[in-house]
Each structure stands twice: as structure tokens, then as C-alpha cells.
Amino acid sequence: MKSLGQFIDGAYEDAGISRFDVVNPVTGEVAYITYEAGRDQVDRAVAAARAALSGPWVRFSAAERGAILRKLANRIAERSEEFLRAEVLDTGKPADMASHLDIPRGAANFSFFADTAPMAMGEAFPAPTPDGAGALNYTLRTPRGVIAVVCPWNLPLLLMTWKVAPALACGNTVVVKPSEETPATATLLGEVMNEVGIPKGVFNVVNGFGAGSTGEFLTSHPDIDGITFTGETVTGTAIMKAAAEGIRPVSFELGGKNAAVVFADCDLDRAIAGTMRSAFLNCGQVCLGTERIYVERPLFDTFVEKLAAQVKTLKPGDPWDKASNFGPLISEVHRQKVLSYYAKAKAEGATIVTGGGIPDMPGKLAGGSWIEPTIWTGLPESSAVIQEEIFGPCCHIAPFDTEDEAVALANAGPYGLAASLWTRDLSRAHRLAARIEVGTLWINSWFLRDLRAAFGGSKKSGIGREGGLHGLDFYTEQRNVCIHL
């Protein structure tokens, strides 16, 4: 049985205040053991990151750092099979999906920000002075310092590097706390950091849990200069309270209860295909996924019928079997949470169009965290199933009659991460784009990502923006220099 420890100051430590199991969600069997980092190890990781701010990494130019980060991206690609096996073992997602999305995007984040960071320009402008001599103001961007990176379990490598890459490109150092469910790829990345010559202490990993454990020790640490987190809103609230001590800045991508709005004039085949992905990709464990679908009444019955037919083509199974295209939930604990919403929907009188339970799986797979993809109709908007983030392979479909009603339904609730809109009427699309309160609105598409675009949520779905030049604002301090001429 393999064990994973911490990665601190360029070295691995198979130690911690306690050991715990990481479970393969495909079978329910223990995949490997790891260790919960205590306060002392978090202190040493932060101290190593702080010391590295006085080393060569910060003194390198953005172009020099970029050259090393491109080597890092290339090395991840060269070792992609190892990263793929680690990611699939942790998450249970189909290997075909992870090989085309998680691993290449994880590597691409480093090369993208290697190219983007040098373009983070300041401004310069003259200003009048009382003596008539004038002054010149210009901006310097400097690294923020030691960044705490707290990661989710649904896209472990991709979302971790989405934060680590811009942080390092801007000259910061990092301490990463991966999810206790999925620590393998973050820990493996330390090996690659050493291989390509990133100085010791620039990248550190501490494993463990959240409240009262490693995550709390890290986010409340007085020597952390900024905290970036992707995950649920409740955890984000706790981290924000910790960040208030010392007035540390935060960048959060939090929960979502995303809507899809489908008009009767849409390209139906594209809308069905897009909604299949948005509701059921990665077993519904995608922050951008659509759990609320609103369909214009003339199309409602046809849409429900066609989407249900597509859902029935999903094939759960061994993630290494190319015939399998649907994985398990991340854990038995999460499955029980999702099943509790399945039970609430049934108790509230939902029409179960398809799914609603646990599939029969053969052999060892019977011990995994499998669940049926599920569609409901007929619930009131006040239902918990419609109001609360479930983070599973399920959606509720309801009809609407007017544009105003569609906008009101899409905007209902506390979240505002993303939405998708399906229509051939581009005038309508532009009108609604200005009214739907989300960080990202896709029109006739879903999850179409340009890494240069601003990404984040409104309302309780987050603070700040990641992506392109927008994300670099969090990872740098802007200093104005004023020269009296």
C-alpha cells in the first residue's frame, strides 16, 4: 500500500499528527494512506515559502520564471500517464475524460500563465504640481507573498494548477492544501517541481482536513499573505472569517445552483447535447453544472423526453474501460448527501423522469459510490432540491412562458456562478445577457472556456476573478511611484 505525506521545502515527509485512508470511489477500497499535517508542519511549510521569497524565484524576471514554468508544463505532459493514474485513482472519473480534460489543462495552465504574466502592465501618466515642474506617476507590480491555495476534489489537478500557475508566474510562493479526498496529483507535482529546478520552498503541499485541522491552521496562519479557495460557500465563509485576522485578501470561487434557459426556437439537438454535459459531466460534480433547467412551454415535453433518452445512454463502469462514460461520486459520504436530496424530491411529490436510486454494479464495483443520473419535474421553486446545491448528477426541469419569467427564475436564489442560454434569437440573447446575474453566461454552449476570460461568481458564488490578466490582480500588489520632476 502506497503512502503520501507532505511536500515541504523541496522534500517529502511521510509523517503527520495522524494517518488516514484515501478511498478509491470506484470500489470503496483503500487506495493508499496519507498523513494529516499538524500545526508544526504547516508552520514549517509557511516558513519555507516565506524564506523562498528572499531567494532567486522572486528576483527572476517574469520571462525567466515563464521559461521554467513551460518546462514544468512539458514535464507534466511527459509524465501524463502517472498523473492520469493518480487522478483516476482519487476521483474515479472515466480515464478517457481525465486524459482529455484534467491532465492536459493542468499542464496548460502553467504554459498559459507563463505567457500571460509578462503582459501584466502597469500605467504611467504625468500630473501637474503646484510649482509647475510636474510629476510622473507609474505603477510597479510586485508579488503578493505567500499564497495559501485550498483546492477542491472534483477537478484536483486542473483547479489546483489554475491557482498555483498564476501565483508562481507572478513571483509568489505557495502552500497548497489539496482536498483530503484527492491529494495524489498535488503531491506528485512536487516531484516535477524539483525536476525542472524550481527552488525549494516555492511550492509546498500539506495534506489534511479543514476545520480544526490542516486547512484551518493554514488559512489562519499570520504569515499567509493571500488565500485562494474553490469549494462550497460554507467553507468559504469560514475561511473569510479567518482571513479577517490580519486583513488578508481572498479570491473565492464558491457554490452554484446554475440555471439553463432553453427557448423553443433553439437548435434542439445542440441544446440537448449541451445540457447532457452541463448536468451530468463528471457525475454532476462540476461547479458550473446546471441543476435547474427552464424550458419554454411549447418545447417542454419534447425536451424532457429527449434529455431522458440521452441520460439512459450513460454507462457507469470501470474508469479504464472505454465503454464507460459515467463515474461514481467522490465518496460514500457525498453519495449519502446526494441521496438525501433524491429522497426529498420524492417526498415532495416530484415526478421522477429517470433515475432516482443506486445502480446495480458487478463485482468489486458494487462497493463504489455509484448513483443513478436523475431527472425530476413537477416541484415548486421553493423546494430544497431547486434552492440548494446538490453537486450530483441530477436536474429539475420546469416550464416557463415569457422572457421576464425566465430571467426571474434564473436569478432566483443566493448563487450567481454561471448559466447557459439556448436560443437562435441573438437579439434576445443580448437582452438576457444583461439581465441574468452570473459571472459567466454561455449562449448556445456550455463550458466553452477561453483562459483569457474573467472567471468567477456573483452573489454567494464568489469574490474576485480568475483567468488571464484579471487573475493577476490578486497575485500582485500594485505600487504607485510618484516622481517630482
Q: Which of 265, 264, 288 is nearest to 275 (CA)?
A: 288
Whole-structure pTM value: 0.96
String of DSSP letters for 110-122? HHHHHHHGGG---
- Residue 184 burial (CB < 10 Å; 0-12/13-18/19+)? buried
- C-beta separation of 317 from 365 below 8 A: yes
C-alpha 2/C-alpha 384 separation (Å) is 41
C-alpha 88/C-alpha 195 separation (Å) is 23
Q: Tell me the C-alpha to C-alpha distance, in Å, between residue 413 and each of 171, 237, 387, 389, 430.
A: 39, 17, 6, 10, 22
Confidence (pLDDT) at 354: 98
- C-beta separation of 279 from 390 below 8 A: no
Confidence (pLDDT) at 259: 98
Catalytic annotation present for 287: yes
Cell numbers at 319, concatenated: 474508469
Confidence (pLDDT) at 376: 98
Confidence (pLDDT) at 252: 97
- Give pLDDT tens digits along the chain (485 positions): 589 999 999 999 999 999 999 999 999 999 999 999 999 999 999 999 999 999 999 999 999 999 999 999 999 999 999 999 999 999 999 999 999 999 999 999 999 999 999 988 789 999 999 999 999 999 999 999 999 999 999 999 999 999 999 999 999 999 999 999 999 999 999 999 999 999 999 999 999 999 999 999 999 999 999 999 999 999 999 999 999 999 999 999 999 999 999 999 999 999 999 999 999 999 999 999 999 999 999 999 999 999 999 999 999 999 999 999 999 999 999 999 999 999 999 999 999 999 999 999 999 999 999 999 999 999 999 999 999 999 999 999 999 999 999 999 999 999 999 999 999 999 999 999 999 999 999 999 999 999 999 999 999 999 999 999 988 999 999 999 999 99
Catalytic annotation present for 253: yes
Confidence (pLDDT) at 141: 93
Choose, from 283, 287, 394, 395, the residue flagged as catalytic.
Answer: 287
Confidence (pLDDT) at 121: 78
Q: Tell me, what amino acid is at 357?
A: G
- C-beta separation of 153 from 102 below 8 A: no
Choose, from 36, 87, 180, 253, the residue flagged as catalytic.
Answer: 253
State the CB neighbour count (10 A cutoff) for residue 155: 25
C-alpha 242/C-alpha 129 separation (Å) is 43
Find how far residue 36's CA is from the centre of its chain: 23
Beta strands in 6-93 (DSSP E): 6-8, 11-13, 18-23, 30-36
- C-beta separation of 210 from 221 below 8 A: no
C-alpha 174/C-alpha 164 separation (Å) is 7
Q: Tell me the C-alpha to C-alpha distance, in Å, between residue 418 and each of 197, 243, 312, 437.
A: 38, 26, 26, 8
